């Protein structure tokens, strides 16, 4: 397991390098001048040129990238063009909020998705099954900005159950986490339903039933334990999916996380912030997947990694 | 009957007296307000931050030597004790400072701080967008180029006196000295905070920055030692960031927000303006900006003035105003109505597709032509571009739309022979200061018609440049009427060249809570956007 972990960490470094190169290249290819965006419309062409030189944007691509990598190896992610603050400090100031949001979303998608999926599997072909599948379809297809604003209007403004937005305790977290997690809850319900249906038709389940075990005991002790394995992998993948979703959800709810930070940076082509957040996200996604693999190893002894 | 009349008269008198006395009543001191914005505040460094959001917040923390009468274009002394003395040749300005004004760190402001602040803006290391506004000061270019350690044209005469000499007379120089870039900052605070000065600002202003939680909110507290007695009225201002405008609007309804920094969201606009109760807290004012369509004179057949005039006549501006829910004033010329030099008599091009067709035919384009129109991809701009496309189709001009990210539109528009037409929605030209030269040099002069510039029609009329240059040298107060008349004539000449289709001047709408007290000039100031120091609560 140690060899496996070490090799995955090394692979992660390669992923980070490729992510930084790809992001840097894409931004470089963009038909946009970051110096003009920093300077604004009123600055003269001479001032824009002066800012371009100061930011090092007049150098060739290879030189800019090499300089960036050099700083990156020393843990320096550069300074924001627009805010002039260190990117590392900016990410540090936002990461906890995004982590809370993701954790809340994972919790809610498990809380909703697992029971609904089990219910649908146990009532296969009947109205609960159709209802849950309908919910899964809606949850996965509803645009997050629409869903977020609808939840704000209905639950926060209409019923006054939650704050209208902003950052704070659990009451502030609930609606953004629900918006982020609702689509995932639908997916989880579908996956656990399929997985459970598959397991319920296996011989050992039939044997357990034949032994006279109660229905709930068969499901909880025997079937569910085997059916839950794909969910662990999905949680690992969720982190990647959420990194995209947080951009929209954080903007709707005014949640001060990495999504809003990178969205603001994209609008003004703030290269150091964009590349910094991409590298950080790639690191988190890689680590989350590694963690999911390791957890799966622990819960399912049949799996062997080499 | 007589008695009833008498009673009515007494009642009316009391009513009028009451209204007048309440109008004249001094604003209540104390209390605090909360303002909402969608975007994060990037910086409060006045040398760096330059957008509608951080501009008024910087003004809470800092002061310039000069300021404007709220809502107007008349300059008034601020940190200066009086208006500066100007030499006869119009090149030298001597400022006398107020004495005893203290920075938030307790140190007294002096003339050396004025010199330091201006040199800081000019220093390339500061990366100030405002650098070029001050390169007209003698010796400034040498300082920018690294050939001099100080700007020779800024001389400290005494702790309360500073002299600024220009290379050439510039009638707009005092306006430039009232910009945020010319806010006075203490050297030691900048040195202490380093690049983070924008997050730890220290000035002389009516408020101090109490706290800043990135991505969440900024809290400003009243400066008890502010040099203008009785200002500010509020004890504190909280600026909440990251609030979607629709969510902010609901928060205002619930009493959690006092002022919508981003204005009324389009989805709620009609509801708000039609509801008499809500309408009472809505304020509107025409901005000093122009949203326009540019016609690139370097691309055929737009190099023909008749074709450009035909396009000017073919576009139905009233239809475009309907698309934006009437939140604009129809534009007839480049200059907006509140800009000095605006000519009320300028009729512009009247919507006349038949005449437009005839002009195209005269230009040898009877069967029309094909061209491209660039627009930013954010609503309502693609819809407006489609409206323009339909209008031009009526005169035989086939338009291909290119709807791109704002940064890409700016890049294409500023590259010669690339973008035939550009719809400036979302990128309207807004005044930097209330002087007509600001609507000429950065966007219509020969020096701005270069790669990366903002002169998107790439128009270059050297004769008009010479006239504008001559007008800018008219510095004496007695020459100002003639100067503005000359600028009106320059813009009339530019209008004849039809390099722009000026479409509308944005009317800004904002909404406040019942408890917030402020006039339209305080809430929608054309220069500072919001005058926080003048706001109060009931």
Per-residue pLDDT tens over the stretch B293-317: 999 999 999 999 999 999 999 999 9
Chain A positions in Cβ-Cβ contact with residue B253 (cut-off 8 Å): 157
Query: What pLDDT band is residue B460 in, cutting at 50, 70 and 90?
Result: very high
Q: What is the pLDDT of residue A1?
A: 66
Q: What angle do CA A152, A154, A157 make, to 5 degrees?
A: 65
Which chain B residues have a beta carbon less than 8 Å from that of A144?
none
- B336 or B27, which is more confident: B336
Proportion of chain B in helix, strand, coil states, percent, rounded to 5: 35, 20, 45
CB nearest B454 (choices: A41, A82, A90)? A41
Report which DSSP code applies to B285. E
Quick one: CA torsion of A168, A172, A174, A179, rounded to 10 degrees? -110
Instruction: Decide if A36 and B50 are in contact by the 8 Å CB cutoff.
Output: no
- pLDDT in the model for residue A247: 87
- Comparing B18 with A42, the larger pLDDT belongs to A42
Kindly state the tokens that stand for B450. 């270069």
Q: Are A45 and B198 inside 8 Å of each other by CB?
A: no
Confidence check on the interface: ipTM exceeds 0.95, yes or no: no
Do residue A82 and residue B42 have CB atoms under 8 angstroms apart?
yes
Q: Which of B129, B241, B243 sits opposite A40 (nearest CB)?
A: B129
What per-residue confidence (pLDDT) applies to A305?
59
A150 touches chain B (CB under 8 A): no
**What is the model's pLDDT at position B25?**
67
| Residue B425 DSSP one-character state | T
Closest Cβ opposite residue A33 in set B128, B450, B452: B452
3-state secondary structure of B167: coil
Nearest by CB: B127 against A37, A51, A264 = A51
Residues of B with Cβ-Cβ distance to A261 under 8 angstroms: 40, 215
Within 10 A of B228 (CB to CB), how many other CB atoms are there?
12
Instruction: Answer whether residue B16 shows pLDDT above 60.
Output: no
**Contacts with B442 from chain A: Cβ below 8 Å:** 41-42, 44
pLDDT in tens, B474-510: 999 999 999 999 999 999 999 999 999 999 999 999 9
pTM above 0.90, yes or no: no
A:B CB pairs within 8 Å: 158
Residue A303 has a pLDDT of 66
What is the tens place of the pLDDT at every residue in B49-86?
A: 888 889 999 999 999 999 999 888 899 999 999 999 99
B462 confidence band (pLDDT: 50, 70, 90)? very high
Upper half-sphere CA count for residue A145 (Cβ side, 13 Å): 7
Task: Specify the higher pLDDT residue, B362 or A264.
Answer: B362
In the predicted model, what is the mean pLDDT of residues B407-417? Answer: 93
> Bridge-partner residues for B376, per DSSP?
B404
Interfacial A residues in 1-40 facing B (CB < 8 Å): 30-33, 36-40
Mutate to test the interface with A, among B146, B214, B217 (most CBs of A within 10 A): B214
What integer pLDDT is reported at residue B19 of this predicted model? 47
Of chain B, the percentage scoring pLDDT greater than 90 comes to 84
B438: closest chain A residue by CA? A42
Q: What is the mean pLDDT of residues B184-201?
A: 95
- Between residues 261 and 290 of chain A, which touch chain B (CB distance below 8 Å)? 261, 264, 267-269
Percent of chain B at pLDDT above 70? Answer: 95
Best A30, A165, A253 member to test B by mutation, with max B CBs in 10 Å, is A165
- List of chain A residues whose C-beta atoms are within 8 Å of the C-beta of residue B249: none
What per-residue confidence (pLDDT) applies to A154?
92
> Are the beta carbons of A136 and A187 closer than 8 angstroms?
yes
Q: Which domains does chain B have, with CATH numbers?
A: 1-38+207-281+511-538 (3.40.190.10), 63-203 (3.90.76.10), 289-505 (3.10.105.10)
Residues of chain A with pLDDT under 70: 1, 301-306
Give the one of A31, A45, A50 whose C-beta lies nearest to B450's C-beta. A45
Q: Is B516 in a helix, a strand, or coil?
A: strand
- Give the whole-angstrom CA distance, residue A87 versus residue A81: 10
Rounded to 5°, angle at Cα A113 from A111 and A119: 105
Summarize the confidence of residues B443-472 as an average pLDDT. Answer: 95
Q: Which long-range contacts (CB under 8 A, 24 or more apart) does B190-198 make?
A: B190/B120, B195/A79, B195/A84, B195/A85, B196/A84, B196/A85, B197/B45, B198/A83, B198/A84, B198/A85, B198/B42, B198/B43, B198/B44, B198/B45, B198/B48, B198/B49
State the pLDDT confidence band at B422, using cuts at 50, 70 and 90. very high
């Amino acid at each position: 397991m140690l060899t496996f972990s070490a090799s995955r960490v090394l692979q992660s470094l390669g992923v980070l390098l490729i992510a930084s190169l790809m992001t840097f290249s894409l931004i470089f290819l963009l038909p946009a001048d970051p110096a003009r965006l920093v300077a604004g419309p009123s600055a003269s062409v001479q001032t824009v040129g002066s800012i371009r030189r100061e930011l090092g944007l007049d150098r060739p691509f290879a030189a800019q990238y090499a300089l960036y990598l050099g700083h990156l190896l020393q843990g320096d992610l550069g300074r924001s063009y627009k805010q002039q603050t260190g990117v590392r400090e900016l990410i540090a100031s936002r990461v906890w909020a995004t982590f809370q949001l993701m954790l809340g979303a994972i919790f809610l998608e498990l809380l909703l998705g697992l029971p609904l999926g089990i219910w649908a599997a146990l009532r296969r072909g009947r109205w609960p099954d159709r209802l849950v599948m309908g919910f899964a379809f809606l949850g996965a297809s509803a645009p997050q900005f629409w869903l977020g604003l609808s939840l704000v209007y209905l639950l926060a403004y209409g019923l006054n159950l939650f704050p209208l937005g902003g950052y704070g305790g659990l009451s502030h977290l609930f609606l953004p986490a629900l918006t982020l997690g609702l689509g995932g809850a639908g997916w989880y319900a579908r996956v656990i339903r399929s997985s459970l249906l598959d397991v319920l038709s296996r011989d050992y389940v039939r044997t357990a039933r034949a032994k006279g075990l109660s229905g709930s005991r068969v499901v909880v002790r025997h079937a569910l334990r085997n059916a839950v394995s794909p969910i662990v992998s999905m949680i690992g993948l969720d982190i990647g999916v959420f990194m995209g979703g947080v951009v929209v959800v954080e903007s709707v709810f005014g949640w001060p996380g990495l999504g809003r930070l990178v969205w603001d940076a994209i609008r003004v082509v703030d290269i150091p912030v964009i590349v910094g957040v991409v590298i950080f996200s790639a690191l988190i996604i890689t680590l989350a997947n590694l963690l999911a693999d390791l957890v799966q190893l622990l819960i399912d002894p049949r799996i062997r990694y080499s | 009957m007589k008695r009833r009349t008498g009673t009515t008269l007494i009642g009316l008198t009391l009513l009028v007296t009451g209204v007048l006395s309440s109008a004249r009543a001094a604003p209540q001191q104390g209390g605090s307000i909360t303002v909402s914005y969608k975007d994060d505040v990037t910086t409060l460094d006045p040398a760096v931050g330059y957008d509608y959001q951080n501009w008024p917040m910087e003004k809470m923390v800092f002061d310039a030597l000069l300021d404007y009468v709220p809502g107007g274009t008349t300059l008034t002394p601020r940190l200066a004790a009086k208006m500066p003395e100007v030499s006869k040749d119009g090149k030298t300005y001597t400022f006398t400072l107020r004495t005893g004004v203290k920075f938030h760190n307790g140190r007294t402001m002096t003339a050396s701080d004025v010199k330091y602040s201006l040199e800081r803006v000019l220093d390339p290391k500061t990366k100030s967008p405002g650098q070029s506004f001050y390169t007209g000061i003698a010796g400034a270019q040498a300082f920018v180029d690294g050939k001099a350690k100080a700007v020779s044209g800024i001389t400290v005469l005494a702790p309360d006196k500073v002299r600024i000499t220009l290379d050439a007379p510039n009638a707009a120089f005092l306006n430039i000295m009232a910009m945020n870039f010319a806010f006075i900052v203490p050297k030691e605070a900048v040195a202490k905070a380093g690049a983070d000065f924008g997050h730890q600002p220290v000035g002389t202003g009516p408020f101090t920055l109490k706290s800043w939680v990135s991505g969440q909110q900024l809290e400003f507290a009243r400066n008890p030692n502010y040099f203008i007695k009785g200002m500010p009225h509020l004890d504190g201002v909280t600026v909440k960031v990251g609030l979607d405008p629709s969510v902010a609007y609901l928060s205002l309804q619930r009493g959690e927000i006092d002022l919508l920094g981003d204005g009324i969201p389009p989805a709620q606009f009609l509801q708000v303006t039609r509801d008499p109760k809500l309408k009472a807290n809505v304020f509107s004012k025409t901005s000093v900006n122009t949203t326009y369509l540019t016609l690139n004179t370097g691309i055929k057949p737009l190099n023909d003035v008749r074709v450009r005039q035909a396009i000017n006549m073919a576009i139905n501006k009233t239809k475009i105003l309907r698309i934006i829910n009437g939140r604009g004033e129809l534009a007839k010329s480049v200059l907006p109505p509140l800009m000095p030099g605006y000519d009320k008599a300028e009729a512009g091009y009247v919507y006349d597709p038949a005449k437009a067709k005839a002009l195209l035919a005269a230009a040898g384009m009877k069967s029309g032509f094909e061209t491209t129109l660039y627009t930013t991809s954010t609503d309502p701009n693609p819809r407006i571009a489609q409206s323009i496309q339909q209008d031009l189709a009526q005169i035989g001009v086939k338009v291909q739309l290119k709807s791109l990210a704002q940064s890409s539109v700016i890049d294409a528009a500023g590259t010669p022979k690339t973008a035939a037409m550009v719809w400036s929605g979302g990128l309207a030209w807004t005044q930097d200061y209330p002087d007509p030269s600001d609507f000429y040099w950065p966007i219509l002069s020969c020096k701005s018609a270069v790669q990366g510039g903002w002169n998107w029609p790439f128009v270059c009329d050297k004769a008009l440049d010479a006239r504008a240059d001559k007008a800018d040298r008219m510095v004496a107060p007695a020459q100002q009427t003639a100067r503005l008349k000359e600028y009106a004539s320059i813009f009339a000449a530019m209008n004849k060249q039809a390099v722009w289709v000026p479409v509308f001047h944005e009317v800004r709408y904002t909404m406040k809570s019942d408890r917030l007290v402020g006039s339209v000039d305080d809430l929608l100031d054309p220069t500072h956007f919001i005058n926080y120091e003048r706001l109060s609560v009931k």
